[in-house]
């Protein structure tokens, strides 16, 4: 898992936000993929020693049947961890990550094809809200912070500068990645992920 020291996946993404568009797209999608792999490993095999661990390691290797981001997304959906909207958003996130990683002409969230793909994220419309938590800095100024809430209606991500974040392609991509991290991060603490998680 790619985390800053003592950080969570969401905090790591916030730290990366000042990086290039390519860095944001590739690294944030990799963090989401790593969390998904952790969820699948926890759900698929309880034998973490001996032969079971060997089979699991092979299955998740690049040559294994669950080695690609796409196969992980599909399996997560088939196992009931994803809603249709989350499944589509993950496929879109994977598509954009691959474009940024493998094609030099896709280097900016400002390009129209990239903007169009980011406009297709679905969860941002229903699961991302304005910040509802604050911290106070050394000067006594209130600063909005990212927070997560869970209720009977599911999981919600509350983000600072909500209006600007969801109006730009970069903000839509990053906010979607943060929401997905929020849904799957509990596995890092040994918690069981509910179905559907998001």
Q: Which of 67-71, 139-143, 159-163 has the lowest mean pLDDT?
A: 139-143
Task: Report pLDDT digits (tens) over 26-70.
Answer: 999 999 999 999 899 888 876 767 888 888 888 899 889 999 999
Look at 3 and 132; give whichever has higher pLDDT: 132
Band of residue 2 on the pLDDT scale cut at 50, 70, 90: very low
R_g of the chain computed on alpha carbons = 17
**What is residue 150's predicted lDDT score, i.e. its pLDDT?**
87
Tell me which residue of 139, 153, 148 sits closest to 183, measured CA to CA: 148
Tell me which residue of 31, 116, 17 sits closest to 69, measured CA to CA: 31
Q: Which residues contact 101 (CB under 8 A, 6 or more apart)?
A: 22, 25, 26
pTM confidence score: 0.87
Q: What value does the mean pLDDT of the chain take?
A: 86
- Number of residues that make up the chain: 198
Band of residue 75 on the pLDDT scale cut at 50, 70, 90: very high
Band of residue 152 on the pLDDT scale cut at 50, 70, 90: confident
How far is it, in rounded angstroms, from Cα 158 to Cα 188?
21
Query: Is the dihedral angle over the CA atoms 162, 164, 165, 167 positive or is it negative?
Result: positive
Q: Where are the domains of the chain?
A: 9-124+168-189
**What is residue 179's predicted lDDT score, i.e. its pLDDT?**
93
Preceding amide of 196 cis, omega within 30 = yes
Instruction: Report strand pairing: 128-130 vs 154-159.
Output: parallel
9-124+168-189 CATH fold: 1.20.120
**pLDDT at residue 121 is higher than 90:** yes
């Amino acid at each position: 898992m790619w985390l800053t020291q003592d950080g969570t996946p969401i905090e790591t993404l916030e730290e990366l936000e000042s990086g290039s568009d390519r860095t944001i797209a590739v690294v944030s999608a990799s963090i989401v993929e790593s969390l998904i792999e952790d969820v699948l490993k926890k759900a698929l095999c309880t034998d973490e020693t001996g032969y079971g661990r060997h089979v699991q390691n092979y299955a998740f290797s690049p040559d294994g049947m669950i080695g690609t981001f796409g196969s992980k997304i599909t399996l997560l959906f088939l196992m009931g961890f994803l809603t249709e909207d989350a499944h589509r958003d993950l496929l879109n996130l994977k598509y954009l990550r691959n474009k940024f990683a493998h094609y030099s002409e896709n280097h900016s969230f400002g390009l129209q094809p990239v903007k169009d793909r980011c406009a297709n994220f679905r969860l941002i419309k229903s699961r991302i809200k304005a910040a509802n938590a604050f911290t106070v800095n050394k000067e006594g100024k209130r600063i909005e912070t990212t927070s997560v809430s869970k209720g009977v209606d599911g999981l919600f991500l509350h983000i600072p500068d909500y209006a600007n974040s969801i109006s730009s392609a970069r903000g839509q991509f990053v906010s979607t990645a943060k929401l997905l991290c929020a849904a799957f991060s509990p596995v890092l603490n040994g918690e069981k992920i509910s179905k559907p998680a998001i």
